Amino acid sequence: MNVLITEDDALHRAFLKTTVENALPECDQVLEAEDGEIAMQKVATNDVFGIIMDLQMPKASGVDAAKEIWRRNPDMRILFWSNYADEAYVRGVSRIVPSGAVYGYLLKSASEERLELAVRGVFLQDQCIIDREVRGIQQRSEDTLEGLTDSEFEVLTDIALGMTDKAIARRRNISSRSVQSRLKHLYEKLCIDASDTGFEFGPVFNSRTRAVATAFSRGLLNADGLAASQESLDEWLRGPTLR
Amino acid sequence: MNVLITEDDALHRAFLKTTVENALPECDQVLEAEDGEIAMQKVATNDVFGIIMDLQMPKASGVDAAKEIWRRNPDMRILFWSNYADEAYVRGVSRIVPSGAVYGYLLKSASEERLELAVRGVFLQDQCIIDREVRGIQQRSEDTLEGLTDSEFEVLTDIALGMTDKAIARRRNISSRSVQSRLKHLYEKLCIDASDTGFEFGPVFNSRTRAVATAFSRGLLNADGLAASQESLDEWLRGPTLR
DNA sequence: TCTTCGACTGCGGATATCCGCAATTCAAGG
DNA sequence: CCTTGAATTGCGGATATCCGCAGTCGAAGA
């Protein structure tokens, strides 16, 4: 029974290793990977029972790696261990977890006991253990009222990448007027009122860019998620529209 | 002789403490702070000789805290210890360091020996010790050719916050046409060509939002720096234009 | 079946943005 | 003194974006 630790920070990696050795005496070997790519390799070439994975990593992010690993091995137990409970991360994880898969989502601020309990719960008892704080974000992002629709979130990432209305319309197979309609709803939910003139010479903010800014400051978007979205956009650009 | 460690991650904090105790036997007491605000308090109420400071922290970021601390005490030795060598961080630090101040900038990926050497160099021998990688970024951001002008950087943060051309013009005391002129140069340096049609239905990207996206992915901007810029914007909005 | 509600869509107008062209200013050097 | 180059500004036009209004469509529910 081997456990893989995927974490770029050396100190955290060492800490996780000793914790696993403590909490899981049944564990034969603790493998280590310092980024998502190495993790995928190690899973492919070793008999890995479960994974503890950081979300913020260079090269392949934790979400990317988990997605690929679950694609080949839907039963893999994965315990995510992250610094933040940003909506972007929570959403990203929720999107890729296969139905029936066993996983956990713990914050690094959690105590060592909670971590040990989570390790045993996820790896030995097939429990899904989600940090309370994360759980809150998860629910909120599922509620249509509090958070954003998938459509709105989609269009938000698109404008954050700098796409024009027309390009978004093409990509999502809707009219450009619909894109604007979705944007309008997005602006409302983010409380962006272009005519809300903070000073006497007209509006201070451009709705489009302002939406991206507030989404960033609220944790709806983050650099990692944006990089991932950029990749899928590149793929789309290379794809069907290429002559 | 007391040393203050400012770092939100508990593991890193503990690591720094033992390192300092090893490298600096002369040190009487190691104080700890888990965010920038606490750091400022501790500096005010204790006799602190030098500081090791993380840059990414909740509440007040490392740059904010260092700025305030240096304002009251320009001779304070500060060793920055950061995960990334993002241009935004390097620029932020370079901007606030008083002339003649002793400081260091080390990456967390540096070895423990390098860290110990840096601690002794900065605290005991008044050396400025800058990580080679950071030094590279620093030089590049000083060169006008490679990096961006201060004007261009300024306008970049403004559009990233969602400001309109007119508002930027007001704030920076130039005409809105000049804002567009600066933007044009910015777009050129970021290699953003709106007419670079990736597909057959016109341009894919909106220059303005695209610039923000690429600036983010290149580390010219980051969430922390944006939050700081937002604060100074709020201040300006409350200030002279308020009737 | 009828109603309701939300999403999508087209039209048209008000602004905002992007950019080429050209005149001006100003500072650094030859 | 003259030249050069960079920054600023105005003008004008081509697009892009934002948004109100109104019509269509499909799904959910009475």
What chain B holds in terms of domains, given with CATH numbers, is 2-142 (3.40.50.2300), 150-238 (1.10.10)
* Coil, helix or strand at residue B5: strand
According to DSSP, the residues that pair with B104 across neighbouring strands are B79, B129
pLDDT digits (tens, 9 = 90+) for B138-192: 777 665 445 678 888 899 999 999 999 999 998 999 998 999 999 999 998 888 8
Taking an 8 Å cut-off on Cβ atoms, the answer to whether A160 and B213 are in contact is: yes
* Residue B224 to chain A, least CA–CA distance (Å): 9
Q: Is residue A201 predicted with pLDDT exceeding 70?
A: no
pLDDT digits (tens, 9 = 90+) for A33-50: 999 989 999 999 999 999
Tell me how far apart the alpha carbons of residues A5 and A30 are, in angstroms, rounded to a whole number: 7
Tell me how far apart the alpha carbons of residues A224 and A35 are, in angstroms, rounded to a whole number: 14
* Among A162, A228, A32, A74, residue whose Cα is nearest residue B194: A162
CA closest to A171 among chain B residues: B204
Interchain CB contact of B115 with A (< 8 Å): no
pLDDT at A143: 60
pLDDT digits (tens, 9 = 90+) for B41-53: 999 999 999 999 9
Q: Is residue A243 predicted with pLDDT exceeding 60?
A: no
Could you give the percent of chain A with pLDDT greater than 90? 52
Secondary structure (DSSP) of A162-214: TB-HHHHHHHHTS-HHHHHHHHHHHHHHTT--TT--SSSSS-SB-HHHHHHHH
Please report residues contacting nucleic strand D, using a CB cutoff of 7 A.
A 164-166, 176-177, 180, 183-184, 187, 193-195, 206-208; B 149, 151, 174-178, 181-182, 185, 202-203, 206
Residue A218 φ/ψ, nearest 5 degrees: -90, 0
* Residue A100 to chain B, least CA–CA distance (Å): 33
Interchain CB contact of A108 with B (< 8 Å): yes
Q: Is residue A242 predicted with pLDDT exceeding 50?
A: no
* Residue B53 to chain A, least CA–CA distance (Å): 17
Nucleotides of C under 7 A from a protein CB: 7-12, 15-20
By Cβ distance, the residue of A161, A167, A204 closest to B237 is A204
Size of interface A-B (CB pairs under 8 A): 125
Q: How many angstroms separate the Cα of A240 from the Cα of each of A76, A170, A171, A230?
A: 33, 11, 10, 17
Taking an 8 Å cut-off on Cβ atoms, the answer to whether A223 and B222 are in contact is: yes
pLDDT at B83: 87
Interchain CB contact of A206 with B (< 8 Å): yes
pLDDT at B99: 81
Interchain CB contact of A243 with B (< 8 Å): yes
Secondary structure of B86-100 as H, E, C letters: CHHHHHHHHHHCCCC
Q: Is residue B37 predicted with pLDDT exceeding 80?
A: yes
Q: Is residue B85 predicted with pLDDT exceeding 70?
A: yes
Interchain CB contact of B19 with A (< 8 Å): no
By Cβ distance, the residue of B161, B201, B213 closest to A161 is B213
* DSSP at B28: -
Interchain CB contact of B25 with A (< 8 Å): no
Tell me how far apart the alpha carbons of residues A93 and B168 are, in angstroms, rounded to a whole number: 38
Interface test with A, best of B209, B220, B222, B232 (most A CBs within 10 A): B209
Regarding predicted confidence, which is higher, B85 or B50?
B50
The integer distance in angstroms from the CA atom of A208 to the C1' atom of C21 is 30
The integer distance in angstroms from the CA atom of A184 to the C1' atom of D24 is 20
Task: Kindly list the residues from chain A whose CB atom is less than 8 angstroms away from the CB atom of residue B161.
Answer: 209-210, 213
* Residue B241 to chain A, least CA–CA distance (Å): 6
Q: Is residue A92 predicted with pLDDT exceeding 90?
A: no
Interface test with A, best of B164, B176, B192 (most A CBs within 10 A): B164
Tell me the two tokens of residue B86. Answer: 């993002």
Interchain CB contact of B11 with A (< 8 Å): yes
Tell me the two tokens of residue A231. Answer: 């990749």
* Among B162, B166, B214, B161, residue whose Cα is nearest residue B186: B214
